[in-house]
């Protein structure tokens, strides 16, 4: 692959001494898979189910983010509606603050939310709307927290949007009562309850004897987030999006945090042990061991069966955050697959160093890749599977390569021990499909 000059330093093989250059803006015209900072804030806050999520901007920003994720709620479904001030030419000329204030009044009256998030966009940023001032006024007038999310699309990358979302959460945390919260209590940060995953994780924790105070933001509620500072430990799953909230809570409230992943047997067990060890309660540790043993034993036979079919097959992955990449490398190894290429949209220097240690020496590592690069590596390494999101799917499918969706739009839960089995079944279903024998990539080989 003839990489663009500006991109060469962002691609290495794991065995090389050279580090992956990352944490830089995307190259114009490179066809990056990254979105904007608005996207970053929207994905993080979206699952808070009893809040009104109002996009202050033109139609597209709201329409493209209407109910596109699999984030489930056990109660209210307000987050699945798309609200938009639908900025038109008139507001571009005269300003959109009045329309925003009217929109908040109207929507709050109709939907009676527990709070509202107002997302600034490129357009309302450029026309100079004071979103913060409108939110302040609305908070006073409407009697619910109305929180500005300052994530205009041009203000950096998706990561900067994560920070904007974390600042918004920070405004909420610490404003609710903490009475009655026990000593063995946690918040789960960075799980978005895709296909009900947070319920699986909560189930393990409750069996261990751990109380879950707030989930951020999967199946999230305004009131529980407000009292999150009453928990004794933060469990951070999606490190990229939520570590900054954990850090803030450590500084402000002295709450320690652990970074974990619930994807893959190894990581899932490790996550539960980390929590148990933190609380240092012998009974909890024993229960955790029992849970890990029982849950692992329940899925191992199926994983072994699947592994027989997948042994030696090759995979590539391109995901948003690095923590998911770490877990996937291990989870794929568990079912006998090697990782030929691993890339992320938002990995940092330390993430890539860790990924280098995890991967084989010839694994291609790429930061902020694009379809042409990925397509060339999929072909070069002749992989059997590509793991990514909706934007990566056609790259794999056009080339006749199996694909597994590990993004937020998927409808299948992949976290926890049972999620490992679901993941293995997903991978097995695509990799072993008989349709590949018909695609030109394989049919051509059969002929030669």
Partner 1 sequence: MSLPIAVPSSKRPAATNSCRVCAPLGSVLAFRGLRGCMPLIHGSQGCATYIRRYLISHFREPMDVGSTSFDESATIFGGQSNLAAAIKNMVRQYAPEVIGVCTTCLAETIGEDTEGILREITTEDPSLPPIIHVSTPSFKGCQYRGFHDTVAAILKVTAKAGTPMSHLNLLPGPVSPADLRHLRELVEAFGLPLLMLPDYSETLDGPSLASYAPIPEGGTALADVADAGRAIGTLQLGATLEPGPGASLQRDFGVPLVRASLPIGVRATDAVLASLAAFAATDAAGAAAAAIPAWLSAERGRLVDAYVDGHKYVSGRRVAVVGDPDLAVAVAGFCAEIGLIPVLVASGALTHRMAPALEALGLAPGAFEVMEDADYDSIQRRVIELKPDLVLGPSKAYPMARALGIPLVRIGFPVHDRIGAGRILHLGYRGTQRLFDEVANALLANQQDSSEMGYAYQ
| Contacts to partner 1 from residues 130-169, by CB under 8 A | 153-156
88 lines the binding site for partner 1 (CB under 8 A):
yes
Question: Minimum CB separation from partner 1 for residue 378, in Å?
Answer: 8
User: Which parts of 237-298 are beta strand (E)?
Assistant: 257-259
Looking only at residues 412 through 441 of this chain, which bind partner 1 when binding is defined by CB under 8 A? 438-441
102 lines the binding site for partner 1 (CB under 8 A):
yes
Q: Pick between residue 87 and residue 200 the one whose CB is nearest to partner 1.
A: 87
Among the residue ranges 192-200, 239-247, 328-336, 391-399, the one whose residues contact partner 1 (CB under 8 A): 391-399
Helix (H) or strand (E) holding 318: strand 314-319
Partner residues linked to 185 by β-bridges: 211
Looking only at residues 350 through 389 of this chain, which bind partner 1 when binding is defined by CB under 8 A? 370-372, 375-376, 379
Partner residues linked to 59 by β-bridges: none
Q: Which residue in 32, 72, 187, 369 binds partner 1 (CB under 8 A)? A: 32
CA distances from 117 to 59, 135, 243, 298, 394 (A): 17, 9, 20, 42, 33
Q: In angstroms, rounded to a whole number, what is the distance separating the alpha carbons of residues 52 and 363?
A: 44
Q: Pick between residue 22 and residue 359 the one whose CB is nearest to partner 1.
A: 22
Question: Minimum CB separation from partner 1 for residue 122, in Å?
Answer: 4
34 lines the binding site for partner 1 (CB under 8 A):
yes
Q: What DSSP letter does each residue of 177-212 carry, written as one string?
A: --TT--SSEEEEEEE--BTTHHHHHHHHHHHHTPEE
Question: Minimum CB separation from partner 1 for residue 53, in Å?
Answer: 11
Q: Pick between residue 129 and residue 197 the one whose CB is nearest to partner 1.
A: 129
Q: Pick between residue 399 and residue 422 the one whose CB is nearest to partner 1.
A: 399
Question: Minimum CB separation from partner 1 for residue 187, in Å?
Answer: 29
233 lines the binding site for partner 1 (CB under 8 A):
no
Nearest to 364 by CA among 387, 381, 349, 351: 381
Among the residue ranges 98-106, 220-228, 240-248, 260-268, the one whose residues contact partner 1 (CB under 8 A): 98-106
Q: Which residue in 21, 23, 27, 266 binds partner 1 (CB under 8 A)? A: 27
Nearest to 46 by CA among 404, 409, 387: 409
Placement of tokens 């250059």 in the chain:
21
212 lines the binding site for partner 1 (CB under 8 A):
no
Contact 309, 335 (CB under 8 A): no
Q: Pick between residue 31 and residue 304 the one whose CB is nearest to partner 1.
A: 31
The 106-135 contact track toward partner 1, x by CB under 8 A, reads xx-------------xxx-xxx--------
Q: Pick between residue 5 and residue 179 the one whose CB is nearest to partner 1.
A: 5
**Residues ≥6 apart with Cβ < 8 Å to 59:** 84, 86
Q: Pick between residue 115 and residue 419 the one whose CB is nearest to partner 1.
A: 115
CA distances from 360 to 80, 408, 431 (A): 41, 27, 21
Nearest to 337 by CA among 311, 319, 374, 356: 311
Count of residues engaged in binding partner 1, rule: CB under 8 A? 79
Question: Minimum CB separation from partner 1 for residue 95, in Å?
Answer: 12
Phi and psi angles of residue 220, each rounded to the nearest 5 degrees, phi first: -80, 150
Among the residue ranges 86-94, 141-149, 293-301, 311-319, the one whose residues contact partner 1 (CB under 8 A): 86-94
399 lines the binding site for partner 1 (CB under 8 A):
yes
- In three-state form (DSSP H/G/I as H, E/B as E, the rest C), the secondary structure along 355-372 is HHHHCCCCCEEEECCCHH
Q: In angstroms, rounded to a whole number, what is the distance separating the alpha carbons of residues 325 and 331?
A: 10
Query: Which of the 8 DSSP states describes residue 388?
Result: E
Looking only at residues 49 through 68 of this chain, which bind partner 1 when binding is defined by CB under 8 A? 54, 57-68
Partner residues linked to 366 by β-bridges: 11, 343
4 lines the binding site for partner 1 (CB under 8 A):
yes
Dihedral Cα 365, 369, 371, 372, nearest 10 deg: -70
Among the residue ranges 102-110, 170-178, 227-235, 353-361, the one whose residues contact partner 1 (CB under 8 A): 102-110
285 lines the binding site for partner 1 (CB under 8 A):
no
Q: What DSSP letter does each residue of 70-134 carry, written as one string?
A: -B--SS--GGGS-EE----HHHHHH-SHHHHHHHHHHHHHHH--SEEEEEE-HHHHHTT--HHHH
Placement of tokens 């793991």 in the chain:
387
86 lines the binding site for partner 1 (CB under 8 A):
yes
Q: Pick between residue 347 and residue 419 the one whose CB is nearest to partner 1.
A: 347
Question: Minimum CB separation from partner 1 for residue 211, in Å?
Answer: 35
Q: Pick between residue 83 and residue 117 the one whose CB is nearest to partner 1.
A: 83
39 lines the binding site for partner 1 (CB under 8 A):
yes
Q: Which residue in 19, 81, 298, 304 binds partner 1 (CB under 8 A)? A: 81
């Amino acid at each position: 692959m003839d990489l663009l000059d500006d991109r060469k330093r962002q691609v290495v093989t794991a065995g090389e001494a050279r580090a992956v250059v990352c944490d830089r803006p995307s190259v114009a015209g490179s066809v990056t898979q990254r979105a904007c900072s608005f996207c970053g804030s929207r994905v993080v806050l979206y699952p808070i189910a009893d809040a009104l999520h109002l996009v202050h901007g033109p139609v597209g920003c709201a329409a493209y983010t209407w109910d596109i994720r699999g984030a489930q709620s056990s109660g209210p479904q307000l987050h699945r509606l798309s609200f938009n001030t639908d900025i038109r030419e008139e507001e571009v000329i005269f300003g959109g603050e009045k329309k925003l204030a009217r929109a908040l009044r109207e929507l709050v009256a109709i939907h009676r939310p527990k709070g509202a998030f107002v997302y600034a966009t490129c357009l309302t940023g450029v026309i100079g709307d004071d979103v913060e001032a409108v939110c302040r006024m609305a908070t006073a007038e409407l009697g619910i927290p109305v929180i500005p999310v300052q994530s205009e699309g041009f203000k950096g990358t998706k990561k900067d949007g994560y920070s904007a979302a974390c600042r918004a959460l920070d405004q909420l945390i610490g404003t609710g009562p903490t009475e009655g919260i026990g000593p063995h209590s946690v918040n789960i940060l960075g799980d978005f309850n895709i296909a009900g995953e947070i319920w699986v994780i909560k189930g393990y924790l409750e069996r261990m004897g751990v109380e879950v105070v707030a989930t951020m933001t999967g199946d999230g509620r305004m009131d529980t987030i407000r009292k999150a500072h009453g928990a004794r430990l933060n469990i951070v799953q999606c490190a990229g999006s939520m570590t900054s909230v954990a850090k803030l809570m450590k500084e402000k409230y002295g709450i320690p945090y652990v970074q974990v992943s619930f994807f893959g047997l190894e990581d899932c067990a490790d996550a539960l042990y980390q929590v148990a060890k933190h609380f240092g309660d012998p009974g909890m540790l024993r229960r955790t061991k029992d849970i890990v043993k029982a849950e692992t034993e329940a899925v191992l036979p199926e994983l072994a069966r699947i592994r027989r079919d997948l042994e030696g097959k090759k995979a590539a992955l391109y995901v948003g955050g690095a923590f998911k990449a770490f877990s996937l490398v291990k989870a794929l190894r568990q079912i006998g697959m090697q990782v030929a290429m691993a890339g992320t949209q938002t990995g940092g220097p330390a993430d890539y160093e860790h990924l280098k240690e995890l991967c084989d020496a010839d694994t291609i590592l790429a930061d902020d890749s694009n379809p042409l690069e990925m397509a060339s590596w999929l072909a070069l390494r002749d992989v059997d599977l590509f793991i990514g999101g909706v934007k990566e799917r056609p790259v794999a499918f056009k080339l006749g390569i199996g694909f597994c969706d590990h993004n937020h739009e998927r409808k299948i839960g992949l976290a926890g021990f049972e999620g490992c089995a679901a993941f293995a079944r997903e991978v097995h279903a695509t990799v072993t499909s008989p349709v590949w024998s018909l695609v030109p990539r394989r049919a051509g080989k059969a002929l030669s």
